Amino acid sequence: MYDLIFICKELKSKVSERRYNHCINVGCMAKKLAKIYSVDEKKAYIAGILHDIAKEMSYEDQLKVLEDVSTYPPEFSRRNYRVFHGWVGSVYAKKYLKITDEDVLNAIRYHTTGRKNMSVLEKIIYNADCISIERRFEGIEYFRRAAQLDLNIVIIDKLSKAIKESVRKQRRILINTFEAYNDLIDSQII
């Protein structure tokens, strides 16, 4: 189904060693969370290792992957192209790595912005990216434990920080981020 050796080789050719190690760590964390939440572990691993495959691409290379850029979000521009490495990565995975599973592709696509109605796999990849083994920040152990009990805690924390940062810098709030945040907050209301 998936040619893991081919996928890892492709990833290695697209990112630095540091990023490659991060991707593998996210894959491992995603697999661990997939087991807890009864999601296909192999799918989670593949989505995890591929989530940042486009992270180090130049804007020009991203455009080449996307081809007709008019069909992509209006925010896609040179100014903030780094936000779109998830989007570009999912297109790359489908086109060049023959990944056809929509849930895997969406998990790659929305790992930076989130979106409303995220699937369990999408939430797993979002979490795994934030709490993978090499990450260091204050409170990370709390978030690692929280992710095993509720996949929304890490996402709400990260999205609220992203929104605050956008407001502080007077930047546009991405619509998917805004909708993901509201969706998760609404789901907490009993």
Kindly write out the interface string for residues 113-152 of this chain, putting x where it contacts Fe ion by CB under 5 A and - elsewhere: ----------------x-----------------------
Query: 121, 103 in Cβ contact below 8 A?
Result: yes
Closest distance between Fe ion and the C-beta of residue 48, in Å? Answer: 9
Phi–psi pair at 74, nearest 5 degrees: -60, -25
Q: CB pairs under 8 A, 24+ apart, for 97-102? A: 97/6, 97/7, 97/10, 97/50, 99/2, 99/46, 99/50, 101/43
Please write down the HEC assignment for all residues of 126-167.
HHHHHHCCCCCCCCHHHHHHHHHHCCHHHHHHHHHHHHHHHH
User: Residues 6 or more apart from 158 whose CB is under 8 A from it?
Assistant: 126, 130
Q: Using CA atoms, how far apart are residues 151 and 147, in angstroms rounded to an integer? A: 5
Closest distance between Fe ion and the C-beta of residue 104, in Å? Answer: 15
Closest distance between Fe ion and the C-beta of residue 51, in Å? Answer: 6
Closest distance between Fe ion and the C-beta of residue 26, in Å? Answer: 6
Q: Which is nearer to Fe ion, 52 or 122 (CB)?
A: 52
Q: Binding to Fe ion (CB under 5 A): which residues in 73-112?
A: none
Note the residue count of the chain: 190
Kindly write out the interface string for residues 5-44 of this chain, putting x where it contacts Fe ion by CB under 5 A and - elsewhere: ----------------------------------------
The site that binds Fe ion (CB under 5 A) totals a number of residues, namely: 2
Q: Which is nearer to Fe ion, 122 or 129 (CB)?
A: 129
Instruction: Considering only the stretches 35-43, 52-60, 76-84, 182-190, report the one whose residues sit in contact with Fe ion under the rule CB under 5 A.
Output: 52-60
52 binds Fe ion (CB under 5 A): yes
Binding footprint of Fe ion on the chain (CB under 5 A): 52, 129
